[in-house]
């Protein structure tokens, strides 16, 4: 990680991790922040970075950075009104056609141009084009309400984690081992690439390379925010692992003797992709902060390591348990399609928690995010250097 440039005022970065439908949780956290701000229209995050579904949330904020509260309100309305067919084809013809093409291509080698994906995410592209005005990013940068916004994707040919960013001209590209930052004018294809979970959603071609979900090879999720100038970061995760202290290192959780289903295995793989690298990166950054405090700046060799303040807000409840309660709301075609692998059973709800883009599930995650953020009200206000505002309910979550 590169040290942030020295400035008189701290530059706050917002990091929104990936996680499919789990990203609804982030919207609740953002709504709480907007309610806590003395001026809800002021954007408190000059640097915004997102991956996968978090990239869509991040760019949505950046597009409306001139009016932060309104941007959060629009984002909340979208997630509260979500249905699965707005993200990927969930009707019988769409599911059968895509599954047949996937099996024919993957097992029989039929159709070389067939996208390698189980689901058709074309509806999501249409939704992004309809709802997002990307010109708002340039306007916010010009008026210095936004320093930069970035989304990360994974290049299938190069194997690199590529961060596409749009921001001030003074921000230089970076090149690290398998991690690069490229200035660009963000568009729908960058969001679709970042959100293309391997095998589930088709890869997206940008220029001469196909890209997929940025969480696949993003070993240092916090790094792009630091490269873009952030000196402190607020991380909104989609896993409660960091808060889970109920099981000690020598204890075992209750388990059954059944073999894991395909969905249960897939859930752990998705968690490994979206969650583990972020948690490891936070742990590494905390160790670097401890080292920076112990070693005086004049005794550090090379670059001076400055501590980076980190605040993490993560779910206080397991999201797969919440998803299991809403599994019957999945469209009938998908329920049948996912029944065999076990995703419609409680043990396979990990996969479901990423794919269940239904209003009731998303609304419950938004409410949880709002409550978890408000539970850390004092920390949030201290971190953002704001006086706790009386919650006016401008973008608060309805009961």
pLDDT given at position 249: 43
Could you state, in chain order, the average pLDDT of each consecutive group of 10 residues for the chain (399 residues)? Answer: 57 91 96 95 96 95 97 97 91 77 68 71 95 97 97 92 95 91 97 90 92 76 92 86 44 54 55 61 66 59 68 92 87 69 55 89 97 96 80 49
Contact 334, 120 (CB under 8 A): no
Q: Which tens digit of pLDDT belongs to each residue from 152-205? A: 999 999 989 999 999 999 999 999 888 899 999 999 999 999 999 888 888 999
Residue 264 lies in a domain: no
Burial 320-357 (b: 16+ CB within 10 A, else e): bebbbebbeebbebbeebbeebbbbbebbbbbbbbbbb
Residues 6+ apart with CB under 8 A from 164: 150, 151, 152, 153, 182, 184, 186, 190
Residue 368 lies in a domain: yes
Q: How far is residue 301's CA from residue 305's CA, in Å, rounded to a whole number?
A: 9
pLDDT given at position 247: 40
Residue 396 lies in a domain: no
Contact 77, 395 (CB under 8 A): no
pLDDT given at position 330: 84
Largest Cα span, the chain = 67
Residue 208's CATH number: 3.40.1090.10
Residue 205 lies in a domain: yes
Catalytic residues: 52, 213
pLDDT given at position 301: 52
pLDDT given at position 265: 55
pLDDT given at position 94: 78
Beta bridge partners of 152: 51, 163
Residue 157 lies in a domain: yes
Residue 26 lies in a domain: yes
Query: How many domains, the chain?
Result: 1
Residue 1 lies in a domain: no
User: What is the pTM (predicted TM-score) of this model?
Assistant: 0.83
pLDDT given at position 269: 59
Boundaries of domain holding 368:
12-101+114-243+274-291+306-343+350-384
Give me the phi and psi of 222, to 5 degrees please. Answer: -80, -25
pLDDT given at position 392: 46
Give me the phi and psi of 99, to 5 degrees please. Answer: -65, -40
Residue 267 lies in a domain: no
């Amino acid at each position: 990680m590169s040290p942030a440039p020295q400035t008189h005022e701290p530059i706050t970065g917002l990091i929104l991790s990936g996680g499919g439908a789990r990203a609804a949780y982030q919207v609740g956290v953002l709504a709480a922040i907007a309610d806590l701000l003395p001026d809800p229209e002021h954007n408190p995050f000059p640097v915004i970075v997102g991956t996968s579904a978090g990239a869509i949330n991040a760019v949505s904020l950046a597009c409306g950075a001139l009016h932060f509260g309104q941007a959060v309100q629009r984002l909340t309305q979208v997630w509260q009104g979500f249905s699965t067919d707005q993200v990927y084809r969930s009707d019988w013809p769409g599911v059968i056609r895509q599954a047949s093409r996937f099996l024919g291509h993957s097992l029989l080698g039929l159709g070389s141009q067939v996208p390698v994906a189980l689901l058709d995410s074309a509806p999501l592209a249409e939704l992004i084009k309809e709802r997002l005005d990307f010109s708002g990013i340039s306007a916010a940068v010009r008026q210095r309400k936004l320093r930069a916004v970035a989304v990360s994707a994974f290049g299938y040919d190069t194997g690199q984690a590529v961060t596409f960013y749009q921001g001030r001209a003074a921000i230089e590209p970076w090149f690290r081992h398998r991690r690069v930052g490229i200035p660009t004018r963000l568009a729908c294809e960058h969001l679709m690439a970042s959100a293309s979970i391997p095998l589930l959603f088709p890869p997206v071609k940008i220029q001469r390379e196909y890209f997929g979900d940025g969480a696949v090879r993003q070993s240092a999720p916090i790094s792009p925010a630091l490269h873009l100038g952030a000196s402190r970061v607020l991380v909104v995760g989609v896993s409660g692992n960091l808060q889970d202290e109920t099981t000690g290192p020598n204890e075992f959780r209750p388990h059954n003797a059944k073999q894991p289903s395909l969905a249960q295995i897939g859930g752990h793989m998705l968690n490994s992709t979206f969650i583990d690298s972020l948690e490891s990166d936070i742990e590494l950054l905390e160790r670097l902060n401890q080292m920076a405090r112990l070693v005086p700046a004049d005794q550090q060799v090379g670059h001076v390591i400055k501590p980076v303040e980190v605040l993490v807000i993560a779910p206080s409840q397991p999201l797969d348990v919440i998803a299991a309660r809403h599994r019957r709301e999945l469209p009938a075609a998908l329920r049948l399609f996912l029944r065999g692998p076990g995703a419609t059973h409680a043990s396979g709800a990990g996969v479901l928690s990423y794919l269940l883009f239904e209003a009731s599930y998303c609304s419950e995650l938004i409410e949880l995010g709002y409550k978890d953020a408000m539970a850390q009200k004092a920390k949030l206000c201290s971190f953002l250097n704001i006086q706790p505002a009386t919650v006016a309910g401008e973008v608060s979550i309805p009961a």
